[in-house]
Structure 1
Amino acid sequence: SKMATKSMANLFIDDTSSEVLDELYRVTKEYTRNRKESQKIIKNLIKMVVKLGVLYRNNQFNSEELILA
């Protein structure tokens, strides 16, 4: 959880992904009508995106897993 800071996320998330996450935050905030809950959801999503990015960059996925993506 310590790695889920803005600076660490910026290392692994490109501009397009960042824009998508910003839009997802806006939509989530509108849907839940709860800022804190929306931030928690997006924080967990960012953690997942960063972890997947690290795994992908280190070639940790086999061909079957890449096909699913």
Structure 2
Amino acid sequence: MWETTGWCLRTWLKVTFVLAVLIGVAAMVWGVGSRPFVLTVVAAVVLELLTIRGLLREWAFDARGRWWWFW
């Protein structure tokens, strides 16, 4: 179970890092107050939430198959 938890955390951190870099690039290209930048931030938040939802589903699926809380 710790393997799945570690994998989920690593994947989440990678996705978060990539999205943060893309938001930083968008801020440099379009400027912080522009409409494309705001749309980029909204899209990044939606992608982040979808990633978290998917990773939680993967983790829960693996947790259902194990009695990991007893070990």
Q: TM-score, normalised by structure 2?
A: 0.49
Stretches of 4+ aligned residues off by more than 6 angstroms = none
1:35 partner amino acid: F
Which residue pairs with 2:12 in the alignment?
Answer: 13
Which residue pairs with 2:55 in the alignment?
Answer: 53
* SS of residue paired to 1:58: helix
Which residue pairs with 2:42 in the alignment?
Answer: 40
Greater Rg by CA: 2
Distance 1:49 1:25 in 2: 17
Distance 1:50 1:57 in 2: 10
Would you say 1:22 and 2:24 are equivalent positions?
no
Distance 1:18 1:47 in 2: 10
- Any unmatched runs of 5+ in structure 2? 1-8, 63-71
How many residues end up aligned between the 2 structures?
48
- Any unmatched runs of 5+ in structure 1? 1-9, 61-69
* SS of residue paired to 1:13: helix
Structure showing the higher helix proportion among its residues: 2
Sequence identity (%): 13
Alpha-carbon offset, residue 23 of structure 1: 2.2
Contact 2:15 2:48 in 1 (8 A): no
